Chain A
C-alpha cells in the first residue's frame, strides 16, 4: 500500500514562539473592491447622518433654545408642562391611543384567528378587503366619518347626542387606519403554530377552551404584544385622522402642527415633537425585543398547523369577520359616495364635479402629478438605496463596527413619527448656512424625507431576503475571480427580486398616502395630493377632499394590482429555478 510510505512530514512545534512575545498580527489586505465596498458603506453612513441623525439632533437642540437661539436648557419643557391647555393634549392622546389600541387588537385578533385557524369560506377575499385601508391616506376615514356621523350624517342618531368631532371620531378613524397593521402582525403570529402541540393537547383530552388558553394564546403572545405596541404608536403619532375629525379635542400631533404652522412657535413645536418621540421609542424597543423572541418559537422540525373544519365555529367566524370587513368597506364606500354626490344630503344626484380639481384654484391636477412623481422617485431611488444598503451591511467584508451601527441606524426611522421627522427636516434644512439648504422647497426634500420615513420596514424586508440567500455566494465568486458587483447584479438581485418588488410597492403606496412627514416641508410647487386634500377639507370642501382621497386610493390600488400581476407572472417564469 502506497499510503504506508507517506511518513508524517510535519513536526509539531511547541506552543511558545521563539521570540517569546506576541507574534505579529496579520493585517488582512483589502482588495480593490473591498475598498469600493468600504467607500459605499461610508457613503451610506454619511447619507444616514445627513437625512436622519443631524435633523433629529437639530430638533433636540431646538427644544432647548429660546426664540433667539440661546440655550435655555429645559425651560421650554417647564413652560409646556405649566400650561394645562397643552398638557391636556397628553392626556387626550394617551386616552384615544389606549382605547383605540384595545378595540383594534380585539377586532384584528378575531379577524386573524378567522383567517388562519378556521376553515371559513371567502378567506382570500376577506384577507384582501382587510388590507384596503393601507391604500388610503389616514385623513380619508375622518372624511367618511363626517358623512356617516357628522351634523348631516346618516347614522348621527347612533351617537345619542355625542359629537363625532372629538374622541369618538378619532378612535373610529384610527381603528380603521391601524386595523391592517395589527392584522398583518397577528396573522403572522397565528400562522406559526405547531400542529403537534394541538394533537398532543387533543390526545390529553383538553377542552377546546383550555387548548385556546394554554396553546393558542401563549403561542401568539409575542405577536399580541408586538401588534399592541405598533398600533399604539401609530395612533399616538397619527396626524391625518385627528386633523380632520378631532374638532377641539387636541392631541399631540395636531399640537405640533398648530404650534409650528399656526403660531410659528418652533421651539414649542420641538418640545411637543420630542414628547411624541418618547412612547414611540419605548414601544419600538419593546417590539424589537419581543419580535426577536417570536422567531425562536417555531423549531425547524415543527409540523405546520392545518385547520380542521368545525362547521359551527367556521360559520360564526365567517359572520364576525364579514361584519368587520363590511364596516371597513362602509367607511371607504362612504368616502366614495361623498365624492360623487352633488350636495350632501340635499341633492343626492351623482356628479363628477368634485373631481374637477381645476375649479378649486390654480393647482388643478398638479398636486396629483406631483404625488405620482414623488411616489415613483421614492419607489425607485428608495428601493435602490435600501437594497444596496442592506446588501452592504449584510454581505461586505471588514468594517464590522460601522456595518453594525448602520444596521442600527436603519432601525431608527421606525421609532420616529412622521410629524417629528418633518419638523426635524424644517429645522435642519431650513437653517441658514446649511449647504444643503437648496433642496428646501423642492421635490428632492420630499423624496429624501419619505425614503427616510419608511426606511426601516424596507430595510428589514431586504435583510430577511438577503439572509435567505446562501452566505457563501460571495466566497464562491471571489474564488472564481468574479467581481462582487457582477454577482450582486447577476445572482443576488434576481434571487431577491420578489422582496425588491415588495419594497418598491410599499414605498410607492406609502409615498402616495403619507401626510404627516411632508406637511411641514412641501412648497407651493411641490404640493402633494394628500396635502391638498387636507387643505381642501380645511377650506370646507369635504366632497372634493373625498374625491382627492379616492384618487389616491385608486392609484394605489392600480399599482398594487399591477404589482401582484407582475409577481405572479414572474413566479411562473422563474418557476423552473424557484420551485423545489
Chain B
C-alpha cells in the first residue's frame, strides 16, 4: 500500500487547548494523508482524546487551525464537518433496532426507503452482521455492538473516520480479532482513519503511522517500526514496548562507560558528558558471546519469569544494576539457564539508543 504524499487531507496547525489553567494540548501540528490509518497513542491524560474531539468539533480548540480537504473547519460545529465517529461506549441508540441505528443518518437525508434499506444491508454485511437487522443493541455482544457502531459511522460515507478507544471495552480475544478486521475494512474502504488508543500493541499492529503524545504535546510521529526501532525520546522508548535504561558516561564520541564496562554506542547528536543508554530486553544477546567481545558484559541471573513463548530474566550487572532480558525457550534449554548463574551477554551497538542523562529512571 502506498500513501499519497502530496497535500495533506487533514492539517492540524499549531492547535492548543486549555481548560482553565490546564493546558490539554500545546501547539500541536500534524498532517494526515488521505487513506491513512493514524493512531494517537499515549497514556491517559496525554491529550489524545482532546485532539480527536477538536478534530470532530466536539470540544473546539482554544487556538490554532484545522483544515480538512483544504477547507478551514477550525470553528465549525460538528454538524458542519465531515466525519463519522465511534465511541468506546458505542453510543448505540438502545430503543432502535440495529437497522434503524445504521439508517439513522440516512433517513434524515430523505433518500428513498428502498435505497436506505439496501445501504443498511450492505453496511451490515460489510461489518459481518448480515441478518441481524431487527435485533436491538442489548441483544448483541460487545463486539457486535461495536460493529454496529462502526457501520453507523460509515453509513454517510464520511471523509474521515474517528475512533475513540473503540476496542477498550472489549475483552482481549475479541479485541484482537476486531482489530485485524478493522484494519482490513479500512484498507478496503480507503477511508482516512484516526484511532485514539492507550494500548501500544494495538497501535503497532493497526496503524500506518503512530502519533505518540504526552502531556499535550506530540513526542514522535512515525511508522510503527520506526517508533519501535528508533524511539525519538526516552518517553517513547519507555511507553512503546519494554526498555532498559542505564546511566552512562561518555568517554569518546561513540564510546560510553557503564561502571567498569565500556560500550560502543550510536552517535545521535547528543554529546553531553552523561547520557542514558537504552536497550530492549529482546535485543540483549546471550548466544555466541565470546569473552572480550565488544559490548559484552558479565551478568548474574537474579530470577526468571516464564511468559509462554519466552522467558524474561532479571539480570544483575555491575554489582547492583538490574537489567531485563528476554531469552527464547530454546536458549534457556540449550544454555540451561538458572537463577544464580553467571552469564556473558552482549548489547549489540546497532540496537542501542542514547538519550539525555537526566531522562527517566
Per the bound structure, the CA–CA distance linking A127 and B96 in Å amounts to 35
Is B76 in contact with A29, judged by CB distance below 8 angstroms?
yes
Interface string of B86-121 (1 = CB under 8 A from A): 010101011110000000110011000000000000
Interface string of B225-236 (1 = CB under 8 A from A): 110000000000
- A304 proximal to B (CB < 8 A): no
Of A11, A12, A15, most buried by chain B (CB within 10 Å of CB) is A12
Per the bound structure, the CA–CA distance linking A580 and B218 in Å amounts to 41
Nearest A residue to B13 by beta-carbon distance?
A13
- A152 proximal to B (CB < 8 A): no
Per the bound structure, the CA–CA distance linking A15 and B105 in Å amounts to 41
- A10 proximal to B (CB < 8 A): yes
- A28 proximal to B (CB < 8 A): yes
Is A481 in contact with B105, judged by CB distance below 8 angstroms?
yes
Is B136 in contact with A26, judged by CB distance below 8 angstroms?
no
Is A482 in contact with B14, judged by CB distance below 8 angstroms?
no
Q: Which residues of B in the span 265-314 have a Cβ within 8 Å of any Cβ on A? A: none
Is A478 in contact with B75, judged by CB distance below 8 angstroms?
no
Partner of A577, one of B14, B78, B94: B94
Is B223 in contact with A6, judged by CB distance below 8 angstroms?
yes
Name the interface size band of chain B.
35 or more
Expressed in whole angstroms, the minimum distance between the Cβ of B327 and any Cβ of chain A is 26
Of A26, A29, A574, A578, most buried by chain B (CB within 10 Å of CB) is A26
Is B80 in contact with A31, judged by CB distance below 8 angstroms?
yes
The main secondary structure of chain A at its interface with chain B is loop
Contacts of A28 in B (CB 8 A): 57, 60, 75, 77
How many pairs, one residue from A and one from B, have CB atoms within 8 Å of each other in the complex? 155
Nearest B residue to A493 by beta-carbon distance?
B95
Q: Which residues of B in the span 44-72 have a Cβ within 8 Å of any Cβ on A? A: 56-58, 60-65
Partner of A576, one of B78, B85, B139, B221: B139
Per the bound structure, the CA–CA distance linking A576 and B225 in Å amounts to 47
Per the bound structure, the CA–CA distance linking A22 and B23 in Å amounts to 14
Is B79 in contact with A481, judged by CB distance below 8 angstroms?
yes
Of A8, A25, A494, most buried by chain B (CB within 10 Å of CB) is A8
Contacts of A480 in B (CB 8 A): 84, 104-105, 108, 152, 155-156
Per the bound structure, the CA–CA distance linking A478 and B59 in Å amounts to 13
Is B75 in contact with A6, judged by CB distance below 8 angstroms?
no
Partner of A472, one of B31, B87, B158: B87
Q: Which residues of B in the span 1-35 have a Cβ within 8 Å of any Cβ on A? A: 1-3, 5, 8, 14, 16, 26-27, 29-31, 33
Is B95 in contact with A574, judged by CB distance below 8 angstroms?
yes
Contacts of A213 in B (CB 8 A): none
**Also in contact, A473 and B96, with CB within 8 A (given A1-B225, A3-B225, A578-B138):** no
- A24 proximal to B (CB < 8 A): yes
- B146 proximal to A (CB < 8 A): no
Per the bound structure, the CA–CA distance linking A26 and B54 in Å amounts to 11
- A2 proximal to B (CB < 8 A): yes
- A475 proximal to B (CB < 8 A): yes
Contacts of A15 in B (CB 8 A): 26-27
Nearest B residue to A10 by beta-carbon distance?
B221
- B224 proximal to A (CB < 8 A): yes
- A490 proximal to B (CB < 8 A): yes
Contacts of A470 in B (CB 8 A): 87, 89, 91
Per the bound structure, the CA–CA distance linking A471 and B91 in Å amounts to 8
A-B contact pairs, 16 of them (CB 8 A): A12-B221, A13-B14, A26-B61, A28-B75, A29-B77, A473-B91, A475-B58, A477-B105, A479-B78, A479-B83, A479-B153, A479-B158, A481-B109, A482-B104, A495-B94, A577-B139
Residues of A at the B interface (CB closer than 8 Å) are 1-6, 8-13, 15, 17, 22-31, 33-34, 397, 470-473, 475-483, 486, 490-491, 494-495, 574, 576-580
Additional A-B contact list (7), CB under 8 Å, known A8-B223, A480-B155, A577-B137: A6-B222, A26-B63, A27-B75, A472-B89, A473-B91, A473-B93, A478-B77
10 cross-chain pairs, A with B, having the tightest CB-CB distances, nearest first: A480-B105, A478-B78, A577-B136, A472-B91, A31-B77, A23-B63, A28-B60, A29-B75, A3-B223, A478-B79
